[in-house]
């Protein structure tokens, strides 16, 4: 049932639209995603826990929903904001509409909002807390609720998305012929995406996924050839208990981190993190590899970053930089087999420019040496 809906931000800005999915009320940090496709993957990315996502592309839902595109077991974001929700799902793979998908997962969606004005407001003022409602349409009331909502700073959201027990993953990327398992990899689940696991399998890894609460000695007891630190939601500075466990594993096995895993690794290596103004969310973020000066177009989803100045006095090499704002996008330890990137090389959704990083991890497990660029990386 379509109902009037109101989105209010903590600074007093508000936007009216019409609901789809479930009715009710939700809160979260409001961010925007610049991808032109891939909304099923975005909806099921656990890194969006505690956030409402506004799509900048105007028409969403036109190719429906298929379970094969999911990146986790369910929707983790709080609310979904679009300019226009397509009533027609034209795709032979589709099994349900976007509206039905949100309703099935008890998620509030809103359309008809001036998403261009909303995105410009966030770009100018920064990502901020908001409340979306179909039951309370009073702007003043919702603004006060937004101010009182918890936000992301200081919250451990990893515990809300991680699995509760270990499991094995064997499915490869659909467009790759998987290699025979050459390596045992222990993947720490801070909110891991399925396509990351597929990427590891396609590059010769037998993957065991472990809950984020797994202690270092338990991880090492699996006798892995390498350790993977996954993406995930929220404030990395709120995870000192996880950082402490990663510190214990440095130098014990090769380590590869992505997104939140990169931020956790940055802290474990002595650095600090900070909150970006409006984050990087989308499949078109330009990143330069500092070894080759080549530019990769990358998929990203994060609101925090590692402070470059905080790691300058540590044995860490900067490997990648964001060309939009010069923030750190990749680093490698100069002496240990350890490296990480801030973006998502598994590309779900997004381009495939960065898939070479999985092969770099495999090579690091073969040699036990710090990662170095190879000619076939380019």
Closest residue by Cα to residue 62 from 26, 98, 86, 28: 86
DSSP, collapsed to helix, strand or coil, labels residue 142 as helix
Whether residue 160 contacts residue 150, with contact meaning beta carbons closer than 8 Å, is answered with no
Catalytic choice (29, 205, 344, 363): 344
328-333 vs 316-322, strand pairing mode: antiparallel
Residue 348 token pair: 């779900």
Annotated active-site residue 26? The verdict is no
Residue 205 token pair: 């890894």
Distance CA 235, CA 223 (A): 30
Can you list the positions of beta strands (E) in 34-147? 51-55, 59-60, 79-81, 84-85, 108-111, 128-133
Counting every residue written for the chain, the total comes to 378
CA-based torsion, 267, 237, 339, 245: positive or negative: positive
Residue 246 token pair: 């990663």
Catalytic choice (29, 41, 346, 363): 346
User: What number of CA atoms fall less than 13 Å from residue 291's CA on the CB side?
Assistant: 13
Phi, psi of 362 (to 5 degrees): -60, -45
Peptide bond into 51 cis (omega under 30): no
Return the H-helix or E-strand segment holding 305. Answer: strand 295-306
Catalytic choice (259, 296, 320, 329): 259
Annotated active-site residue 217? The verdict is no
Supply the DSSP string of 182-233, one letter for each residue. -EEEEEEESS--HHHHHHHHHTTEEEEEEETT--HHHHHHT--SEEEE----
Annotated active-site residue 205? The verdict is no
Phi, psi of 329 (to 5 degrees): -115, -10
Provide the β-strand partners of residue 144.
none
Alpha helix segments (H runs only) across the chain: 39-43, 98-104, 115-125, 139-148, 194-202, 216-221, 240-249, 260-268, 308-311, 356-367
Q: Which residues are catalytic, by number?
A: 259, 344, 346
């Amino acid at each position: 049932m379509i109902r009037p809906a109101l989105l209010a931000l903590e600074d007093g800005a508000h936007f009216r639209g019409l609901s789809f999915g479930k009715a009710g009320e939700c809160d979260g940090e409001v961010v925007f995603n610049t991808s032109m496709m891939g909304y099923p993957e975005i909806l099921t990315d656990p890194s969006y826990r505690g956030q409402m996502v506004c799509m900048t592309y105007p028409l969403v839902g036109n190719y429906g929903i298929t379970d094969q595109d999911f990146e986790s077991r369910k929707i983790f974001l709080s609310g979904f904001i679009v300019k226009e929700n397509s009533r027609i799902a034209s795709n032979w793979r589709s099994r349900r509409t976007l509206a039905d998908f949100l309703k099935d997962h008890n998620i509030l969606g809103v359309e008809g909002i001036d998403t261009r004005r909303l995105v410009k407001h966030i770009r100018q003022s920064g990502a901020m807390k908001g409340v979306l409602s179909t039951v309370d349409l009073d702007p003043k009331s919702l603004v006060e609720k937004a101010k009182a909502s918890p936000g992301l700073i200081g919250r451990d959201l990893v515990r809300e998305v991680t699995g509760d027990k270990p499991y094995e993953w064997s499915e490869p990327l659909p467009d790759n012929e998987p290699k025979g398992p050459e390596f045992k990899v222990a993947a720490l689940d801070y909110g891991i995406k399925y396509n990351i696991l597929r990427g590891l399998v396609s590059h010769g890894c037998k993957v065991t996924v472990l809950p984020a609460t797994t202690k270092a000695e338990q991880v090492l007891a699996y006798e892995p050839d390498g350790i993977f630190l996954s993406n995930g939601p929220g404030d990395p500075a709120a995870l000192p208990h996880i950082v402490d466990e990663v510190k214990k594993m440095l130098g014990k096995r090769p380590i590869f981190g992505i997104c939140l895993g990169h931020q956790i690794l940055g802290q474990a290596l002595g650095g600090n993190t900070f909150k970006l103004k409006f984050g990087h969310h989308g499949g078109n973020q330009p990143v330069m590899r500092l070894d080759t000066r080549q530019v990769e177009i990358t998929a990203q989803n994060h609101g925090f970053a590692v402070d470059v100045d905080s790691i300058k006095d540590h044995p860490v090499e900067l490997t990648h930089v964001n060309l939009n704002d010069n923030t750190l996008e990749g680093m490698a330890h100069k002496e240990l087999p350890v490296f990480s990137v801030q973006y998502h090389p598994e590309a779900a959704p997004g381009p495939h420019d960065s898939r070479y990083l999985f092969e770099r991890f495999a090579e690091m497990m073969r040699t036990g040496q710090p990662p170095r660029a190879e000619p076939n990386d380019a």
